[in-house]
Structure formats: C-alpha cells, structure tokens
Chains A and B, each alone.
Chain A
C-alpha cells in the first residue's frame, strides 16, 4: 500500500476539490421538472403492459409491480364478520357532496356502480377477490394524480357499530368527460389487513376489469 492510501479522508477530499472545482449546479428548467415528475408519477401509478409483465416475471419478480399505488390507496382491517343479513353495501350522500360507501360484502359491485351513477357520479366499480387483480393498464389516458391525489377515495374510520369497510368518494374531483374507476380488494387471509381500495381518474376510455392472478396493486399500499 502506498502512502496515498493513508491520507485522511478530509485531506484527500480537500485536495480533490481543489484539483477539480465543484461544477456550478444547474436547475432543471421548471417546466421540465414538472413534466418529468408527472411522467414518473404516472408511470409508477400505472400497471405495466401485460406482455411485459409476463416477460419480466421470469427475470425479476420484484418488477411485477411498477404500478398503481398508494396515493388514493388505503388498507384497513375488516371485521371478521361481514354482512350478516345486512345489504352488501350502503351508500349515503354527505352535505358537502361527498359520498360515503360502506362495503359489507364483496358482492354486487355493478349494483353499487349503478347506485353511484344515479347520484350523478361517473364511476366504474370493481371488486377484487383475494389473490386477484385487474389486468392493466385499464386506461392509457390517466388524469394527472395531482388532480385528485388522496381526495378521490378516502378511508373512513369505522364507528364501532359498523361491520363494513367505509370509504368516502369525492365526485367533485372528477371533471366533465372524465371517468373515475375504483377497485375494492378483499385481501388474502394472511395479509396484515383485510381489505384495501384504490382509485384513478381517466380522461379517456377505461377497460373493463379482467381478473388475473396477482396482488391487487403490487406496488403496495400504505397501512394505517
């Protein structure tokens, strides 16, 4: 080992800094910063192309996931007892225009969807059984996440008497001509939580949910 290797870090760093002065920093142009950020956010929120996913599965299981996630996603513990003679879901409109949706049983999503349509909300509702997800991407024309972030669909703390899974939908973030699509997932029994949801807004057509195997949104979701 030569003497150079024994230099304390700070001295070597100082000398290198002298030998190669730190270049002046340049900012990303602000519109480019915004555009790149939107691009990255939209990419990580979307499902990969199915063909690509199949191919990548062989290479790297972790890549299965670049997807839908978190912003409007939440997961909660569902009481073990679901339903029990009550309707599969309940919908109620709040004074501020938001709509509470309580899922008690994972059945009749299209009936729920029709009820929401009757309330004037252009939304597509799907339920995902454990171990299933919708094949994606369901839309190639997603609205920027900034438009709705956490506000499209939020988890609502259940009151003690409730047996269901309560969420609140804010239709005001859906603009004219846009379609929201929301997915409620019943998770596998060994999951840390029992159910989860996710929601998006598309400015173009939304493909019907074709169920395939997989975690609902492999990107995960924040837990409480």
Chain B
C-alpha cells in the first residue's frame, strides 16, 4: 500500500515515519513563519495532530507528502491559537519544551546563526503574512510554485503575485541598506523575461480555467 493510501487508511505507523522524515522541515518552517523556536516546537506537534485529523483529505495519487505537511504547518503557524484550542486537551499532556531563546534574546554564537536571525527577522517585519508564507514555502523550503499553491489552497497565480510583492518589498529593504545589488545585472534580464513570461502566462491561464 502506498504511503498516501496508508495515511488515508489511518495507519498510525505511517505518521511515525512522516514525523521522522519531516519534523525538521516543519520545525524550521515554523520558526521562519513565527520567529520563535518555542512556538515552532508547538507547531510541529499541532501539525501532526492536524494531519491526523485531516488524513482523509489526502489524495491517493501524488508524490511526497512533504508539501501537504508544510501546508498544514503554515496554516497552524498562521493561527496557532485556533489549532491550540482544537487540540487543547492533547497539548495539556505534552511536556513543555525547554525555553529556547528567540529573537529578543538570541545568543548569536556563529555567523550562520546570526544570518538566520537577520534573514528571518527582516522578512517577518517587512512582509505581510501571506507574502512571508510563500517566501518560506517556495524559497526557503524549496517547494515548486504549484505545490505551494496546493499546500496553501490558492491558485498558482496567487503564489506568483505574492512572491512578486515579497520581492519588491525585500528589494526596497535592500535598496535602503548596504546590500543593494548592481542595478544593471537585473534590469536587462527583466526585459527579456517579459517576452518569455507572456507566453507562459497565456498557457497558465488556460490551465487555471480548467482546474
């Protein structure tokens, strides 16, 4: 039986496998969406409780369940309070995580950690939640646009437009700081892309109508 079929059938063991495989991705995605490691810890558990609750919505056909889980994690992170309420009784049985410092008092002990905090903090402050979500899913977690769209339950065009807004805002942030890229390395390419993109866009519209 495929993993998806086992999820649908309510095979608990398969959730253990999914946990081992994807908890780390979910943990990091949740941190990027909330900026708080303790909340990210909660999001991991809540995501799997939600996945269990929603298991019969999984399509039998398809590839990895990672996009599905990341979509659930995004919804949970967006509304931790609602998810917490839904699983209140269960969470009461979960021993609390040890306190992990978040932005406010993060001890930056390596350059990597420092960059991580800065990148996430900038994105968190500059972007609206829907823009942050597509940035985290498509750029940081590496989901293809179509899978991010499915995970979020929005059309792929919406993912593109949110990313486009995210890019503009982050660009503005960079423009205002020392990290501005050389202008000429981007502009000529933008013109070329417009032609290619036009054709792609026409195809995409047809696909969306038939969805």
Using CB atoms and an 8 Å cutoff, list the residues of chain A in contact with chain B: 1, 3-9, 11-13, 15-28, 32-33, 35-37, 39-41, 43-45, 48-49, 52, 62-63, 65-66, 69-71, 145, 149-150, 217-223
Given contacts A7-B193, A52-B89, contact A66 B23 (CB under 8 A): no
Q: Are B52 and A44 in contact (CB under 8 A)?
A: yes
Known interface pairs A20-B119, A26-B31, A37-B23; A15-B167 also in contact (CB < 8 Å): yes
Tell me, in angstroms, the Cα distance from A180 to B189 when the chains sit together. 68
Least Cβ–Cβ distance between B188 and chain A, in angstroms? 12
The interface bits of chain B over 149-169 (1 if a CB of A lies within 8 angstroms of the residue's CB, else 0) are 000000000001101101110
Q: Say if the beta carbon of B104 comes within 8 Å of chain A.
A: no
Are A16 and B32 interface neighbours, CB within 8 A? no
17 A-B Cβ contacts within 8 A? A5-B197, A6-B197, A6-B198, A12-B163, A12-B167, A13-B163, A19-B171, A20-B119, A28-B41, A39-B45, A40-B15, A40-B52, A44-B12, A63-B53, A66-B49, A217-B10, A223-B9
CA–CA, A66 and B50, complex, Å: 10
| Contacts A40-B15, A40-B49, A41-B12 given; does A8 touch B44 at CB 8 Å | no
CA distance A133 to B19 in the complex (A): 28
* C-alpha gap A76/B176 in the complex (Å): 67
Q: A16-B167, A27-B24 are in contact. Are A6 and B193 (CB under 8 A)?
A: yes
Interface centre among A3, A16, A145 (most CB of B within 10 A): A16
B54, A62: Cβ atoms under 8 Å?
yes
Cβ distance A200 to chain B, nearest Cβ, rounded Å: 11
Contact residues, B94-136 vs A (CB, 8 A): 94-95, 97-98, 112-113, 115-117, 119-120, 122-123, 135
Query: Does residue B62 face the partner (Cβ distance < 8 Å to A)?
Result: no
Residues from chain B with a CB closer than 8 A to the CB of A1 are: 201
Contact among A21, A24, A37 with B20 in the assembled complex (CB-CB below 8 Å):
A37
- With A and B bound together, what is the CA distance between A11 and B188 in angstroms? 13
Interface size class, chain B: 35 or more
A-B pairs, top 4 by smallest CB distance, nearest first, are: A6-B197, A220-B10, A23-B116, A219-B10
Question: Could you tell me if A26 and B12 are in contact, using CB atoms closer than 8 angstroms?
Answer: no
CB of B194 closer than 8 Å to a CB of A: yes
Question: Judging by beta carbons under 8 Å apart, are A8 and B174 in contact?
Answer: no
- The answer to whether B52 and A8 have CB atoms under 8 Å apart is no
Q: B53 touching A70 by the CB < 8 A rule?
A: no
When each residue 13-25 of chain B gets 1 if its CB lies under 8 Å from chain A and 0 otherwise, what string results?
A: 1111001100110
Other-chain residue from A11, A41, A150 in contact with B193 (beta carbon distance below 8 A): A11
Q: Across the interface, do A5 and B23 meet the contact criterion of CB distance under 8 Å?
A: no
What separation, in Å, do the CA atoms of A217 and B1 have in the docked complex? Answer: 20
Q: Given the interface contacts A23-B119, A28-B44, A71-B12, does A37 sit within 8 Å of B163 by beta carbon?
A: no
Asked whether, in the complex, the Cβ of A70 is within 8 Å of the Cβ of B9, the reply is: yes
Known contacts: A26-B37, A62-B53. The answer to whether A49 contacts B89 by CB under 8 A is yes
Say yes or no: B15 contacts A222, CB within 8 Å. no
Asked whether any CB of chain A lies closer than 8 Å to the CB of B184, the reply is no
Say whether B12 contacts A45, CB under 8 Å. yes
Bitwise interface map of B from 66 to 91 toward A, beta carbon under 8 Å scored 1, else 0? 00000000000000000000010110
Tell me the smallest distance from the CB of A86 to a CB of chain B, in Å. 32
Q: Give the nearest-CB partner of B114 in chain A.
A: A24
- Chain B residue nearest to A49 (CB atoms) is B89
Chain B minimum-CB-distance residue to A44: B52
A9-B160, A23-B117, A66-B53 known, 12 other contacts, Cβ within 8 Å: A4-B168, A5-B161, A11-B193, A13-B138, A16-B163, A22-B140, A23-B119, A23-B140, A36-B41, A41-B15, A222-B6, A222-B11
